[in-house]
Amino acid sequence: MLEAVPAYRLARGVRLRLSDDGGELLVPEGIVSLSESAAAILELVDGRRDQAAIAAMLAERFEAPVAELSRDVAELLAALIERGFVQC
Amino acid sequence: MLSPAQPRSLLCELTYRCNLQCPYCYNPLDLGSSRDELDADAWLRVIDEAAALGVVQFGFSGGEPTLRRDLLVRAIARVTELGGYANLITQGTFLDEAYLAELLAAGLAHVQISIQAPGAELAAIIAGTDVHERKLAALRMIAQSDVALTLNCVLHRLNHDTLPEVLAFAEREGVRRLELANVQFYGWAYKNRGALMPTREQVRSGAALVAQASERLRGRMDITYVLPDYFEELPKPCMHGWGQLALTVTPDGRILPCPAAAAIATLRFPNVRDMSLERAWHVSEAFTAYRGTDWMPDPCRSCDRREIDWGGCRCQAFLLTGNAAATDPACAKSPDHALVEAFRDAAADAAFVPRRPSTLRQAQGDKLRA
Q: How far apart are CA B112 and CA B142, in angstroms?
A: 10
The pLDDT of B107-135, averaged and rounded, is: 96
Of B56, B110, B147, which has the smallest distance from its Cβ to A17's Cβ?
B56
Q: What is the pLDDT of residue B369?
A: 41
Q: Hey, of B76, B104, B110, which one would you mutate to test binding to chain A, going by the most A CBs within 10 A of its CB?
A: B110
Cα separation, B100 vs B183, whole angstroms: 28
Reported confidence tier of residue A82, pLDDT bands at 50, 70, 90: confident
B95: left (phi over 0), alpha (psi -120 to 50) or beta: beta
pLDDT of residue B360: 54
Q: Which residues pair with B288 in a beta bridge?
A: none
Interface contact B79, partner A, CB < 8 A: no
Region of B297 please: left (phi>0), alpha (psi -120 to 50) or beta.
beta
Q: What is the pLDDT of residue B296?
A: 94
Average pLDDT over residues B13-24: 94
Q: Comparing C-alpha atoms, which of B28, B10, B1, B53 is closest to residue B290? A: B1
pLDDT at A13 over 50: yes
Count Cβ atoms below 10 Å from residue B143 Cβ, excluding itself. Answer: 17
**Cα–Cα distance measured from residue B303 to residue B296, given in angstroms and rounded to the nearest whole number:** 10
pLDDT classification of B357: cutoffs 50, 70, 90: confident
Can you give the pLDDT at residue A3?
52
User: Are B148 and A14 within 8 A, CB to CB?
Assistant: yes
- The per-residue pLDDT for B2 is 45
DSSP line for B324-345: TTSPPTTSTTSTTHHHHHHHHH
Contact B59, B76 (CB under 8 A): no
Instruction: Pick the residue of B57, B61, B80, B85 with the most A CBs within 10 A to test the interface with A by mutation.
Output: B85
Which among B8, B110, B219 has CB closest to A13?
A: B110
Name the pLDDT band for B363 (thresholds 50, 70, 90): very low
Residue B236, pLDDT score: 86
Instruction: Report pTM.
Output: 0.92
**If you ran DSSP here, which 8-state letter would residue A68 be given?**
H
Q: Compute φ and ψ for B33, nearest 5 degrees.
A: -120, 145
**A11 interaction partners in chain B (CB closer than 8 Å):** 148
* Closest Cβ–Cβ partner in A24, A28, A84 for B110: A28
Report chain B residues whose CB lies below 8 A from the CB of A26. Answer: 56-57, 84-85, 109
Reported ipTM: 0.88
Tens of pLDDT along B240-257? 899 999 999 999 999 999
Number of continuous H segments (helices) and E segments (strands) in chain B: 15, 9
Could you write out the three-class secondary structure of B17-70? CCCCCCCCCCCCCCCCCHHHCCCHHHHHHHHHHHHHHCCCEEEEECCCHHHCHH
Confidence at residue B366, expressed as pLDDT on a 0 to 100 scale: 40
Q: Does B57 touch chain A (CB under 8 A)?
A: yes
Q: What mean pLDDT value characterizes chain B?
A: 91
pLDDT of residue B247: 96
